[in-house]
């Protein structure tokens, strides 16, 4: 397999993976829909930083230890599950607090307060990075898939990093679409009823991912 062929083949595989709705999609859409544009791009950059780290470590052979060590995998899996459940519950509790304020102040009070960003680019980057790095399945995916696309005779590390950048670039392009979509619907999503539905759904999705990670084999 030549490097050009490998790049296009890998782009197709990870492109389908990128387009599949999941935790990353939910986080980006919610953060952007709340009007936190800088934080939303922080989440995007954090997720892609995690992807780049997983790909780089896999190319260097480090993440093979993840599949070889059951204890290491379990520690990372439970840490990731706990983080996702904690984050999802935080979203649900924040929405409940906002509902109480709306009941007390009414829609006008909510509009006067505005939707002040809960942190900026750095806060979003940390959230995106932790969400990605604490998911051991991303590492296992790279260990299982990435080596298959590295051509025989090609420099293993350089070729692996190049393939990872294909995944990162596709992720950035799809995130651009998601952020634009959320911004286009921002007026509707800023309504209290729509916000309640969005936050409850997103919080439940995040908790669900955490629970699934905890109980999966």
Contact assessment for residue 133 and residue 63, using Cβ atoms and an 8 Å cutoff: no
| Range of 6-15, 58-67, 146-155 with top mean pLDDT | 6-15
Checking if the pLDDT of 5 tops 50, the result is yes
CA-CA-CA-CA torsion sign (7, 8, 11, 16): negative
The pLDDT of 130-135, averaged and rounded, is 87
97-101, 118-122, 164-168, 203-207 — which is least confidently predicted?
97-101
Q: Count the neighbouring beta carbons within 10 Å of the beta carbon of residue 173.
A: 11
Contact assessment for residue 94 and residue 199, using Cβ atoms and an 8 Å cutoff: yes
**What is the rounded distance in angstroms from the CA atom of residue 42 to the CA atom of residue 80?**
19
Checking if the pLDDT of 70 tops 80, the result is no
Average model confidence (pLDDT) across the chain: 80
Give the residue from 210, 193, 202, 39 showing the smallest Cα distance to 137: 210
Per-residue pLDDT at 67? 65
- Give me the count of residues in the chain: 217
Per-residue pLDDT at 66? 65
Q: Which residue has the tokens 């935790």?
A: 23
Checking if the pLDDT of 77 tops 50, the result is yes
**What is the rounded distance in angstroms from the CA atom of residue 197 to the CA atom of residue 211?**
21
Q: Residue 118 has what DSSP assignment?
A: S
Q: Count the neighbouring beta carbons within 10 Å of the beta carbon of residue 213.
A: 23
- pLDDT tens digits, residue range 85-131? 887 888 777 655 554 444 444 444 443 333 434 568 999 999 999 98
- How far from the centroid of its chain's Cα atoms is residue 37's Cα? 16
Per-residue pLDDT at 143? 82
Report the SS3 class of residue 62: coil
Q: Residue 36 has what DSSP assignment?
A: -
Per-residue pLDDT at 94? 67
């Amino acid at each position: 397999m030549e490097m050009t062929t490998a790049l296009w083949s890998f782009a197709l595989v990870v492109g389908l993976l990128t387009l599949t709705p999941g935790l990353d999609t939910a986080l980006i859409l919610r953060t952007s829909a709340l009007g936190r544009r800088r934080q939303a791009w922080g989440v995007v950059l954090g997720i892609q930083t995690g992807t780049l780290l997983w790909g780089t470590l896999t190319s260097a052979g480090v993440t093979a230890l993840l599949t070889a060590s059951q204890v290491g995998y379990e520690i990372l899996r439970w840490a990731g599950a706990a983080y996702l459940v904690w984050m999802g519950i935080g979203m649900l509790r924040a929405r409940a607090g906002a509902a109480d304020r709306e009941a007390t102040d009414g829609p006008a009070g909510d509009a006067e307060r505005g939707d002040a960003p809960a942190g900026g680019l750095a806060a979003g980057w940390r959230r995106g990075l932790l969400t990605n790095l604490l998911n051991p399945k991303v590492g296992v995916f790279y260990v299982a898939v990435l080596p298959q696309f590295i051509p025989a005779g090609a420099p293993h590390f350089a070729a692996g990093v190049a393939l990872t950048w294909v995944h990162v670039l596709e992720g950035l392009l799809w995130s651009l679409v998601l952020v634009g979509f959320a911004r286009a619907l921002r007026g509707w999503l800023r309504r209290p009823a729509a916000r309640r539905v969005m936050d409850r759904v997103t919080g439940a999705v995040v908790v669900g991912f955490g629970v699934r990670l905890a109980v999966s084999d």
